[in-house]
Chain A
């Protein structure tokens, strides 16, 4: 069960303690996240909501090792990532994190197959093994018949499926989805959410997702709200960071 009060045990897959992030803009310090605690267990599906600028994406970037916090620590599967060097963090990301972006961010000159294969090129897998993994991943997202299509030959929903296949192909510890349905129509968004739910239920994936859409957030096990850098559990509406209750 996700906890935001810092009371999670050592078995938490993801553990953030006293997490803070400040930006400097025009000489002014902006505090995006404030002493935030978070414990996520394996197989959980968490949605983060909140107004623009509340720090949702910043939190996701910190948890995914794309950015470093100004304060606090993050431990994932026993590895404290906060003090890792840039190169170690890159290696860690390759092993542990699958990213799904709002704008898909596929490489337009590569086919769906080649896009999904990208993370595997960094491994020691043989060509045949890579092919098998890619075909499996594309099969999971239902695009076996589109693997040799280029992104421009796919619909938005299909592109996002390719992104999800790329995110799961190396079997990462957890998935980070930043507005995965933000650029899709309702039908395509529903299909993507079904796919993510399948990854959680059937493949026991841990998923952390940022969304603006309450309908999409409702599909998650738990929805957490971020407001002014403070994490709030939606169903309890209780501020559990150091900021106290409100």
Chain B
């Protein structure tokens, strides 16, 4: 503690340089934070996907339907605990830019398969008893200022017409990463209103397993059950399904790693150079410290400490700004339902900050440690 004054005085010695160096860290860590947000936005569904859930889609493509009658056959396969289903609706609320996912879903088993979505029981019962009812995620309700009891018109796209819904409830995710942007309405209503060729079909099934370890066996069993039928299936774990979905956008993870790597390498060069200059211009002072009894190790730690403090200040500032940015919500109007900076990313950011701070200060610090007093004083 008694050396804090010495460290503080040195940190603020060149205020502009101090601010610019802090700024370099802040910008880099802000970018790191935003990249982490983007990564979560694309892969959040993968990270939180249930290990005990399978998704069954049409083998040809997810846009091809599956017969409703498959539900009972799948349910009979040993190891299957529950099954539910849904259809993608793809309607427009007021403006095409107001995107949010809308599902025609099975009210009987939905909550058993997706227990992570919490909804007051009374609201749920109202929904179940209301063929025109709907439930919205908290984020979507907040976004459009919806309240329970509101009448919500949604224009059908491929089905046409305006579909009116009574908002009977609002659900919340029980985990930070749970998607709160969905809009659910009863599959039965959907099935009643769609043209004849679409009736009796679902978009996909979600199967909840007794034991996650059975996922491979049951996947094979489901696909085997419908092999060589007009509607062959493709079954995968929910995690693999979500990962496959993300892959359609390219290798986001790798892209982010590359951008992050380049940013931090540049930061390392900038701060390393700054620290080297800062130490070089203080050669005489460091020599005096050694002359009056400060050890080589102290000088090493002293320089490293400065470097680490700059890194921590800048890093914390950048991550704080990134966090603030995410508090404003998804700027894409619903395309990125998982839009938040996870705690793990903040910790990783601080870890990287410390590593860059230590690496950038290490060489100047070793130089300062090895400095011979007589040589340094001769140069002054």
Contacts and interface: CB of A to CB of B under 8 A. Distances in A.
Given A105-B377, A107-B285, A127-B2, A99 B9 contact: no
Contact of A93 (B5, B13, B292): B292
Interface in A85-131: 86-87, 90-91, 93-95, 99, 101, 103, 105, 107-110, 114, 118-119, 121-122, 127
B193 to A, nearest CB: 77
A90 B296 contact: yes
Nearest to A110: B9
* Size range of the chain A interface in the assembly: 20 to 34
B176 interface: no
Interface residues of B, number: 26
B9 A122 contact: no
A75 interface: no
Nearest to A120: B2
Contact of B293 (A61, A91, A105, A127): A91
A66 interface: yes
A118 B9 CA distance: 13
A91 B373 CA distance: 14
Given A66-B374, A101-B377, A90 B9 contact: no
A166 interface: yes
Contacts of B287: 105
A90 B293 contact: yes
Given A66-B291, A127-B2, A87 B13 contact: no
A28 B297 CA distance: 33
B374 A67 contact: yes
A94 to B, nearest CB: 2
A137 to B, nearest CB: 13
Contacts of B6: 110, 114, 118, 121
A90 B290 CA distance: 7
B239 to A, nearest CB: 56
A99 B10 contact: no
A121 B2 contact: yes
Interface centre among A87, A90, A118, A166 (most CB of B within 10 A): A90
Nearest to A114: B5
Nearest to A99: B291
A93 B287 CA distance: 13
B12 interface: yes
Contacts of A107: 9, 285, 288
Contacts of A67: 372-374
B377 A93 contact: no
Nearest to A121: B2
Contact of A90 (B5, B294, B377, B380): B294
Contacts of A166: 292
A91 B293 CA distance: 6
Contacts of A118: 6, 289, 292
Nearest to A60: B374
Nearest to A119: B292
A94 B293 contact: yes
B296 A94 contact: no
Nearest to B14: A109
A51 B141 CA distance: 89
B296 A87 contact: yes
Nearest to B284: A105
A150 B70 CA distance: 85
B295 interface: yes
A93 B293 contact: yes
Contacts of A94: 292-293
A87 B296 CA distance: 7
Interface string B237-250: 00000000000000
Interface in A140-186: 166
B288 A105 contact: yes
Interface string A45-73: 00000000000000001001011000000
B3 interface: yes
Interface in B346-378: 372-374, 377
B132 to A, nearest CB: 73
Contacts of A110: 5-6, 9
Contact of A61 (B2, B289, B374): B374
B380 A121 contact: no
Interface string B274-307: 0000000000110111111111110000000000
A131 B224 CA distance: 86
A173 B373 CA distance: 20
A66 to B, nearest CB: 5
Contacts of A119: 292-293
A99 B288 CA distance: 9
B292 A99 contact: yes
A67 B373 CA distance: 8
Contacts of A103: 284, 380
Given A99-B292, A101-B377, A103-B380, A109 B2 contact: no
Nearest to A94: B293
B7 to A, nearest CB: 11
Interface of B: 2-3, 5-6, 9-10, 12-13, 284-285, 287-297, 372-374, 377, 380
17 contacts: A61-B373, A64-B291, A66-B291, A66-B377, A67-B372, A67-B374, A86-B296, A90-B290, A90-B295, A91-B295, A93-B291, A99-B292, A105-B285, A105-B380, A109-B12, A110-B5, A114-B6
Given A110-B5, A114-B5, 18 more contacts: A61-B373, A64-B291, A67-B373, A67-B374, A87-B296, A87-B297, A90-B293, A90-B294, A91-B293, A93-B292, A94-B293, A99-B288, A103-B284, A103-B380, A105-B380, A107-B288, A108-B13, A109-B9
Q: Which 8 A-B pairs have the closest CB atoms?
A: A94-B293, A109-B9, A105-B288, A119-B292, A66-B373, A67-B374, A109-B13, A61-B374
